[in-house]
Amino acid sequence: MEYTKINEDLLEQIRKAVGSQNVFTDKDALDTYCHDETEDLKYHPEVVVKPVDAASISALLRLCNAFHVPVTPRGGGTGLSGAALPIYGGVLLSMEKFKAIIDIDTENLQATVEPGVITEAFINAVAEKGLLYPVDPSSKGSCFIGGNVAHGSGGPRVVKYGTIREYILNLEVVLPTGEIIWTGANTVKYASGYNLTQLMIGSEGTLGVVTKIVTKLIPKSHHTVLMLASFTENEKACAAVSAIFRAGIIPSALEFMERKGVEWVIKFDDIKFDLKDDVNAFLLIEFDGDDMDTIFKDCEKANLVLEEFDCIDVLFADTAQQKEDLWRMRRTMAESVKSNSVYKEEDTVVPRAALPTLINGIKEIGTRYGFESVCYGHAGDGNLHINIIKAGMSDDDWKNKLKDGIVEIFELTTALGGTISGEHGIGLVQKEFMPIKYSEINLNLMRGIKSVFDPNRILNPGKIF
Amino acid sequence: MEYTKINEDLLEQIRKAVGSQNVFTDKDALDTYCHDETEDLKYHPEVVVKPVDAASISALLRLCNAFHVPVTPRGGGTGLSGAALPIYGGVLLSMEKFKAIIDIDTENLQATVEPGVITEAFINAVAEKGLLYPVDPSSKGSCFIGGNVAHGSGGPRVVKYGTIREYILNLEVVLPTGEIIWTGANTVKYASGYNLTQLMIGSEGTLGVVTKIVTKLIPKSHHTVLMLASFTENEKACAAVSAIFRAGIIPSALEFMERKGVEWVIKFDDIKFDLKDDVNAFLLIEFDGDDMDTIFKDCEKANLVLEEFDCIDVLFADTAQQKEDLWRMRRTMAESVKSNSVYKEEDTVVPRAALPTLINGIKEIGTRYGFESVCYGHAGDGNLHINIIKAGMSDDDWKNKLKDGIVEIFELTTALGGTISGEHGIGLVQKEFMPIKYSEINLNLMRGIKSVFDPNRILNPGKIF
């Protein structure tokens, strides 16, 4: 695609649009914003802007639309699919100055928040008022709520509380052509034309720049119980997942971890954990509620189910510290794997009873292609993150043959009724795999929608399709 | 808009497309399908078709797209916004033969169902397997699940279980140009490009014809408790609604009913109910769960809240019959009002703490314009149905001035952060009010999306915008 390079003239106009104090062209800035958390990919922008309000973004986008300059919006830079990489150079639009929690409305159980707020800061702010915003991806300590909206991000509590789609009521959005709109209404129900709010969620910054977010909140439970169940086999642990739901129990989190993931976390993060020899897989299961008796009843029911799947033992986290340690183990798993090896991460999702078939298939494909893998993830949602490890694969095979293995993984995912990303998005690195799941007709509908919002394709071009 | 009239030649081709036994042009058929439940509106189609499979619909739409013949899809015909009215004539496409519950997957807690299945039949079928599909609009005994998808329908249990958007995972859709696609994946999470499933939900049959629906299901609770709280004033009852949530309680239903609604139901439906003189408003509150102790604790907490709002008394439904009677009272309210008077129905939704302001505003507007109103609805979601009653209004005022009053109601709704329909949709009768809530920019985005899916505007034209 041909875009206009930013010359001194254009740069001056960009400074006028967003304020010169918010425009950066120094090497440090360009280096800092040339990558996110996706493998080792680097694409340098020509300029980094950090606007402070929607009006500036509107002026910026009008300008870039007129001159055909690409603009790549960026949240916390924690993305795993490369959606925030400025692959055509141009303007890197960092939302980091949109930091206000504008309102926590305890009457309506809603909040209005800017997209640059760190997810965990928002979760903590509403928790102080006894409320829950249950969308907490592993990167919650550094990702932005705006990035979560852009990616349809999840986290462990989706399994009970639903996805981010349920918690985003309304969005202020600057369109690529510069107009500022609200997408919907501040209501939990909405049947007033095409749902532009839902269309924006998961559109990865390709349809507009979100500048305000209205979220739903719910009352926060007073108690949680966290248990770690260990199994001899991946397959048994995965099979237990759907059985728990079939028993009529809905945990507030149900995470799967493979042994190797735990090994690497112990090495990386200095977590004290007694990893027994016969254990090969774990389920981390949380129940929450206001009534301990009810929670314990659910735990007992879950225990009975786990026994049917040859669960070796169940460890209950007794203290807040133990809970935090177990959660940290799960949350730092991606980072631990990265620190240990060249890797590629995939984000498969299938109907949850298909998990045993999926994980066995992944291992079988790995054996054929010569890669190892560390699997973990939100098993209760059928969402399995696969960290593919180079292991004994030659550099040449890693570069040239691995892709065929990934294609096989996604073909399997698709055959099981699943899709190629549950919460990380498509961005740059998964777009070549979209045709495995989606017909050209589907992709053309998406391209058509893109053209309606962004006729000149200036906003985050080259992503998704 | 100019469309091609259906001549004998075209009719013959339609017969070939869907099978001549599925094509009807007799007066009875045209009369039956010329209206839905929207006021007394009637628009006759030129032909009624009742295809039996997606391939026929594909052939039909290819034909109508080529010859520019309008096609209006129809579910159970229970719509309240006129979305199923064939306002330009053409083909009325009834989905009534799509009646199969294809699969209830108890392993994954999912079902695959055809759009012509009656909602209540589906709810009952999954209940037999211990599962819950919680989307149950008042018309559940006659509406189709496909129509529910098209309208983003709700019902009383949205308040705890979320909207239909959370329960629709994947859709088979015939596009207006004839291609058949699946919109997504059979997974609870999805971050794989623009969410076409969510875009289809609530699009009122203007973007495609849904031919298969994959739903999420959840374990069904074993117990419910239903209580009816009575109040001296609408405002107090409405104010209690948000207070219940603020107390950390989430009921499985929280419905508001005005006295006059109950009076008319008693008259219409021969329900035995002791309506006391000092009672002017009711809240129907349901709690569900697996543990009666927990449910009773919630009831006690709710009672304490209700007392703060001068609740007169609380009636507990002791038997299944009493529960059914109270629910029937709520469900037949629309029908009762209709049987009593010329009416117009509006479907406002606001953030729930704004309900007292909304209901007072409606009454004040009614006083100025001379209409009465009966209000009831899913108060827990801030969703208030307003039945506007002609009362002492002259025919002339009803015809010419009422619209200004409705505009005022929607302006108030919008000012309170709400929108003009929570679950009934825009269809034909609300589209003139869309500009109250949505800018021309929003509407143009919707029109643009429509053009991507339906470039020749043959599918349900003249609806929404």
- Which residue, of A97, A132, A158, is where some domain finishes? A97
Q: Smallest Cβ distance to A187: which of B188, B207, B418?
A: B418
Q: Which of B188, B294, B430 to mutate to test the interface with A (most CBs of A within 10 A)?
A: B188
Residue A372 has pLDDT above 90, yes or no: yes
Q: Residue A411 half-sphere exposure, CB side, CA atoms within 13 Å?
A: 7
β-strand A91-94 against A71-74: which pairing, if any?
A: parallel
Give the per-residue SS3 of A62-78.
HHHHHHCCCEEEECCCC
pLDDT-derived band at B369, boundaries 50, 70, 90: very high
β-strand A47-49 against A23-24: which pairing, if any?
A: antiparallel
Q: Answer whether B165 sits within 8 Å of A163, measured CB to CB.
A: no
Instruction: Read off the amino acid at residue A296.
Output: F
Beta-sheet strands, E only, within B18-141: 23-24, 47-49, 71-74, 91-94, 101-105, 110-113, 131-132
Same domain, B400 and B356: yes
Give chain A's domain count.
4
Task: Write out chain B residues lying below 8 Å of A219, CB-based.
Answer: 245-246, 248-250
User: CATH number, domain at B266?
Assistant: 3.30.70.2190
Task: Write out chain B residues lying below 8 Å of A157, CB-based.
Answer: none
Task: Write out chain B residues lying below 8 Å of A424, CB-based.
Answer: 191
Task: Write out chain B residues lying below 8 Å of A351, CB-based.
Answer: 105, 107-108, 110, 186-187
| B79 in Cβ contact with B36 (< 8 Å) | yes
Closest residue in B to A202 (Cα) is B191
- DSSP code string of A211-271: EEEEEE-EEPPSEEEEEEEEES-HHHHHHHHHHHHHTT---SEEEEEEHHHHHHHHHHH--
| B256 in Cβ contact with B230 (< 8 Å) | no
Helix (H, G, I), strand (E, B) or coil at B72: strand
Residues 6+ apart with CB under 8 A from B394: none
Q: What is the mean pLDDT of residues B104-129?
A: 98
Residue A88 has pLDDT above 70, yes or no: yes
Q: Residue A14 half-sphere exposure, CB side, CA atoms within 13 Å?
A: 28
Rounded to whole angstroms, the Cα distance separating B22 from B14 reads 10
Rounded to whole angstroms, the Cα distance separating B312 from A396 reads 79
Q: Which of B190, B223, B463 to mutate to test the interface with A (most CBs of A within 10 A)?
A: B190
Rounded to whole angstroms, the Cα distance separating A167 from A182 reads 16
Q: Quote the minimal CA–CA distance from A452 to chain B in Å.
A: 6
Rounded to whole angstroms, the Cα distance separating B337 from B374 reads 8
How large is the C-alpha radius of gyration of chain B? 22
The DSSP output letter for A419 is B
Q: Answer whether B202 sits within 8 Å of A183, measured CB to CB.
A: no
Task: Write out chain B residues lying below 8 Å of A290, CB-based.
Answer: 248, 294, 297
Percent of chain A with pLDDT over 70: 100
Q: Is residue A407, in this structure, part of any structural domain at all?
A: yes
B400 is written with which tokens?
A: 């010419």
Rounded to whole angstroms, the Cα distance separating A51 from B89 reads 52
Nearest to B427 by CA among B83, B73, B146, B78: B83
Q: Answer whether B165 sits within 8 Å of A166, measured CB to CB.
A: yes
Residue A62 has pLDDT above 70, yes or no: yes
Instruction: Read off the amino acid at residue A264.
Output: W
Q: Is residue B198, in this structure, part of any structural domain at all?
A: yes
Closest residue in B to A239 (Cα) is B107
Same domain, B215 and B248: no
Q: Is residue A452, in this structure, part of any structural domain at all?
A: no
Q: Answer whether A152 sits within 8 Å of B190, measured CB to CB.
A: yes
Q: Which residues of A419-453 are buried (b: 16+ CB within 10 A; e: fewer)?
A: bbbbbbbbbbbbbebbebbbeeebbebbebbbebb
Q: Is residue B26, in this structure, part of any structural domain at all?
A: yes
More confident residue, A436 or A318: A436
What's the whole-number average pLDDT of chain A?
Answer: 96
Q: Quote the minimal CA–CA distance from B131 to chain A in Å.
A: 9
Q: Is residue A288, in this structure, part of any structural domain at all?
A: yes
Same domain, B367 and B296: no
Q: Answer whether B199 sits within 8 Å of A198, measured CB to CB.
A: yes
Q: Answer whether B425 sits within 8 Å of A199, measured CB to CB.
A: no
The pLDDT of residue A270 is: 78
Q: Quote the minimal CA–CA distance from A152 to chain B in Å.
A: 6
Helix (H, G, I), strand (E, B) or coil at A459: strand
Closest residue in B to A107 (Cα) is B353
Task: Write out chain B residues lying below 8 Å of A249, CB-based.
Answer: 219
Same domain, A209 and A111: yes
Nearest to B158 by CA among B352, B302, B398, B446: B352
Task: Write out chain A residues lying below 8 Å of B353, CB-based.
Answer: 105, 107-108
Rounded to whole angstroms, the Cα distance separating A360 from A362 reads 5
Nearest to B402 by CA among B412, B393, B391: B393
Task: Write out chain A residues lying below 8 Å of B109, CB-based.
Answer: 242, 245-246
- DSSP code string of B415-436: HTT-BSBSSS--TTTTGGGHHH
| A252 in Cβ contact with A366 (< 8 Å) | no
Q: Smallest Cβ distance to B465: which of A193, A195, A297?
A: A193
Residues 6+ apart with CB under 8 A from A141: A118, A120
Nearest to B82 by CA among B432, B348, B407: B432
Task: Write out chain B residues lying below 8 Å of A106, CB-based.
Answer: 246
Q: Smallest Cβ distance to B191: which of A105, A194, A421?
A: A421
pLDDT-derived band at B1, boundaries 50, 70, 90: low
The interface pTM score, or ipTM, of the predicted complex is: 0.97
Q: Is residue B76, in this structure, part of any structural domain at all?
A: yes
Q: Which of B194, B292, B443 to mutate to test the interface with A (most CBs of A within 10 A)?
A: B194
What's the whole-number average pLDDT of chain B?
Answer: 96
Same domain, B105 and B125: yes
Nearest to B393 by CA among B377, B380, B410, B406: B406
More confident residue, B337 or B317: B317
| B92 in Cβ contact with B72 (< 8 Å) | yes
Q: Which of B189, B437, B440, B464 to mutate to test the interface with A (most CBs of A within 10 A)?
A: B189
Same domain, A111 and A210: yes
Q: Answer whether B189 sits within 8 Å of A438, measured CB to CB.
A: no
Q: Quote the minimal CA–CA distance from A272 to chain B in Å.
A: 33
Interface A-B, measured as beta-carbon pairs within 8 A, has a size of 291
Rounded to whole angstroms, the Cα distance separating B23 from B6 reads 13
Q: A142-192 pLDDT, tens per residue?
A: 999 999 999 999 999 999 999 999 999 999 999 999 999 999 999 999 999
Rounded to whole angstroms, the Cα distance separating A44 from A33 reads 7
For residue B311, the cross-strand partners are B231
Which residue shows structure tokens 């006659």?
B142
For residue A43, the enclosing domain spans 14-97
Residue A361 has pLDDT above 90, yes or no: yes
Task: Write out chain B residues lying below 8 Å of A352, CB-based.
Answer: 108
Task: Write out chain A residues lying below 8 Å of B186, CB-based.
Answer: 351, 417-418
- Which residue, of A184, A219, A254, is where some domain finishes? A219
A85 is written with which tokens?
A: 């990489």
Same domain, B113 and B85: no
Instruction: Read off the amino acid at residue A369.
Output: Y
pLDDT-derived band at A215, boundaries 50, 70, 90: very high
Task: Write out chain B residues lying below 8 Å of A208, CB-based.
Answer: none
Rounded to whole angstroms, the Cα distance separating B328 from A134 reads 35
Residue A342 has pLDDT above 90, yes or no: no
Task: Write out chain B residues lying below 8 Å of A425, CB-based.
Answer: 191-192
The DSSP output letter for B377 is E
Q: What is the mean pLDDT of residues B14-27?
A: 98
Q: Answer whether B192 sits within 8 Å of A110, measured CB to CB.
A: no
Q: Which of A149, A180, A190, A197 to mutate to test the interface with B (most CBs of B within 10 A)?
A: A190
Q: Quote the minimal CA–CA distance from B197 to chain A in Å.
A: 10
Helix (H, G, I), strand (E, B) or coil at A384: strand
Same domain, A134 and A210: yes
Same domain, A68 and A140: no
Integer angstrom CA distances of residue B178 from B197, B419, B420, B447, B456: 18, 33, 32, 20, 12
Q: Is residue A137, in this structure, part of any structural domain at all?
A: yes
Q: Which of A445, A463, A464 to mutate to test the interface with B (most CBs of B within 10 A)?
A: A445
Same domain, A126 and A82: no
Rounded to whole angstroms, the Cα distance separating A405 from A346 reads 12
B228 is written with which tokens?
A: 């009816």
User: CATH number, domain at A113?
Assistant: 3.30.465.10
The pLDDT of residue A271 is: 81
Q: Smallest Cβ distance to B421: which of A191, A202, A378?
A: A191
Instruction: Read off the amino acid at residue B163.
Output: T
Rounded to whole angstroms, the Cα distance separating B138 from A61 reads 46
Rounded to whole angstroms, the Cα distance separating A45 from A26 reads 11
Q: Smallest Cβ distance to A351: which of B182, B187, B354?
A: B187
| 3-state helix vs strand vs coil in chain B, percent to 5 | 40, 20, 40
Q: Answer whether B187 sits within 8 Å of A382, measured CB to CB.
A: yes
Same domain, A271 and A173: no
Q: Quote the minimal CA–CA distance from B195 to chain A in Å.
A: 6
Instruction: Read off the amino acid at residue A51.
Output: P
The pLDDT of residue A1 is: 67
Task: Write out chain A residues lying below 8 Å of B347, CB-based.
Answer: 191
Residue B262 has pLDDT above 80, yes or no: yes
Q: B182-213 pLDDT, tens per residue?
A: 999 999 999 999 999 999 999 999 999 999 99
The pLDDT of residue B318 is: 87
User: CATH number, domain at A48?
Assistant: 3.30.43.10
Same domain, A107 and A215: yes
- Which residue, of A97, A129, A156, is where some domain finishes? A97
Task: Write out chain A residues lying below 8 Å of B291, CB-based.
Answer: 291, 293-294, 297
Q: Is residue A5, in this structure, part of any structural domain at all?
A: no
